[in-house]
Structure 1
Amino acid sequence: MMPSRDKIFSRIRHNLGRGPLAEEAVNALKARIEGHVPHTIPKRTDIAHKEQVDLFQAKAEALAATVARISSLDDVPEALRDYLTAHNLATRIKMSPDPALDNLPFNMTPMLEINRGAAAPEDEVSLTPAFAGIAETGTLCMASSAETPSTLNFLPENHVVVIKASQISGSLEDSWARLRQKYGAGNLPRTVNFISGPSRTADIEQTLIMGAHGPRRLHILIVDDGPQD
């Protein structure tokens, strides 16, 4: 039995009046797909890594995200507490079950209630790791998995993201290269979300509304994990 995917493509070719592709064309397409030739990369990202991290922060803040720089993962609980206090937010946190966050010293901040798993409608604050950061646009790359549920990126109104400086690079193309390197070409996560600032829309009468399709606030904690140049 022909797989559904092949049936769909077969019908498209039929409706376009095209038969099967010649072997030469098939090989050319396969080489292009497997070659992963990068698209245009902005010149502004061709800078030292430290400057890329600074550019990422500047771009993220220009998109209404807030950013704090911390020296190690051990500083995450206190930085999170300070952020919640500054905005008078709930101290109940839904945290990603990613092992990267397993050893955060929340014993130093006993007022924070940490629960782990996918987000539920009642969750107000989420804490997640990022897969990568894109300096050219101040964008976070988030890869879905059982340890990093996508619901944490969208359901809570306040999203706090932890990213190491070493995970930040210049361009969008870099993030795709990292994904292929980790998961293997053709075996990417079920979803890859690119997040640039908190959710917003101005579709109705050009009035800017925050949190229309996701968090009202996005706070990024950049962990300085050493020089990369």
Structure 2
Amino acid sequence: MSSDARTHVLTRIRRSLNRGELPDEARAELDRRINEPKPGVVPARATGEHAALVERFVEMAEFAAATVTRVPGMEAVPTAVADWLKGHNLAPKVVAAPDATLDGLEGHGTLEVTRGVAHPADQAAVTPCFAGVAETGTLVLLSGPEHPTSLNFLPDNHIIVVRASQVVGGYEEAWAKLRAQGAVPRTVNMVTGPSRTGDIEQTLQLGAHGPRRLHIVLIDDHRRGTDSGEG
């Protein structure tokens, strides 16, 4: 909607409510609240020392039916991915996000890696994430040229690589972190466990609208005093 069209629509709404233009003070206050949002009430489980938040993230992710493998560094990720695929009788073949944070994924001798968007025949996808939320075990995934959204939903198996240094307490921290980096991407997906739905008898079915398995490879970089990684 153009600026002129927006002004026309808002003017008509104000007239229907018998309201005039907002005073400059009120407009400035609204702009301030938009640009400097204040968090609401944050639950206790979203607070604490970072090491405790990482443990809580793992606990909540597993509670949501995700599985977690912890590794000391990116160099161990290819083996962790290959072992997980083998453990589920899946071919050692993945489609991965063309993101630089996954460089080295091709380092495993038996793992076949292609980069780009997902296709219907792809069985497993590997993506990085922007943040992990300890409060609910949720993973924050951003769209963009290096993060095709199809990888999050099309394959039956989704493997997400997250660094411990990317774990935050609550959603408010994740949004603040996202705003701080500048422009917000077109799509922000928050994923908690594999896709699921319940029928009329509330029988839980996994994989109804997306991956039936969600596996997290957690890089314990916080134990080495680093803060590298995406975001």
Q: TM-score when scaled to structure 2?
A: 0.90
Letter in structure 1 aligned against 2:160: V
Q: Report whether the alignment pairs 1:215 with 2:225.
A: no
Query: Post-superposition shift, 1:45?
Result: 2.6
Equivalent residue for 2:160? Answer: 161
Query: Post-superposition shift, 1:77?
Result: 0.7
Q: Report whether the alignment pairs 1:198 with 2:190.
A: no
Letter in structure 1 aligned against 2:138: T
Give the CA RMSD over aligned residues: 1.9
Equivalent residue for 2:103? Answer: 102
Q: Report whether the alignment pairs 1:39 with 2:40.
A: yes
Equivalent residue for 1:180? Answer: 179
- Structure 1 residues 20 and 123 mapped into 2: Cα distance closer, same or farther (>3 Å)? farther
Letter in structure 2 aligned against 1:102: D
Letter in structure 2 aligned against 1:198: P
Q: TM-score when scaled to structure 1?
A: 0.91
Three-state SS of the structure 1 residue aligned to 2:217 is strand
Q: How many residues align?
A: 224
Equivalent residue for 1:150? Answer: 149
Deviations 1:52-74 (A, max 9, x none): 00000000000000011101001
Please say which of residues 23-32 and 152-161 is displaced more in the overlay. Answer: 23-32
User: 2-side partners of 1:3 and 1:88: how far apart?
Assistant: 59
Query: Post-superposition shift, 1:27?
Result: 1.2
Equivalent residue for 2:23? Answer: 22
Listed as ranges, the gaps of 5+ residues in structure 1 are none
User: 2-side partners of 1:102 and 1:11: how far apart?
Assistant: 54
Tell me, yes or no, if the aligned pair for 2:78 and 2:104 is still in contact at 8 Å.
no
Equivalent residue for 2:121? Answer: 122
- Structure 1 residues 111 and 42 mapped into 2: Cα distance closer, same or farther (>3 Å)? same
Three-state SS of the structure 2 residue aligned to 1:149 is coil
- Structure 1 residues 25 and 154 mapped into 2: Cα distance closer, same or farther (>3 Å)? same
Listed as ranges, the gaps of 5+ residues in structure 2 are 227-231
- Structure 1 residues 9 and 97 mapped into 2: Cα distance closer, same or farther (>3 Å)? farther
User: 1-side partners of 2:153 and 2:6: how far apart?
Assistant: 30
Query: Post-superposition shift, 1:203?
Result: 4.0
Indicate the percent of aligned positions where both proteins have the same amino acid.
48
Query: Post-superposition shift, 1:169?
Result: 1.4
Three-state SS of the structure 1 residue aligned to 2:162 is strand
Deviations 1:177-206 (A, max 9, x none): 111121x2xx20101111000000114431
- Structure 1 residues 147 and 11 mapped into 2: Cα distance closer, same or farther (>3 Å)? farther
Letter in structure 2 aligned against 1:164: R
Q: Report whether the alignment pairs 1:91 with 2:92.
A: yes
Letter in structure 2 aligned against 1:190: R
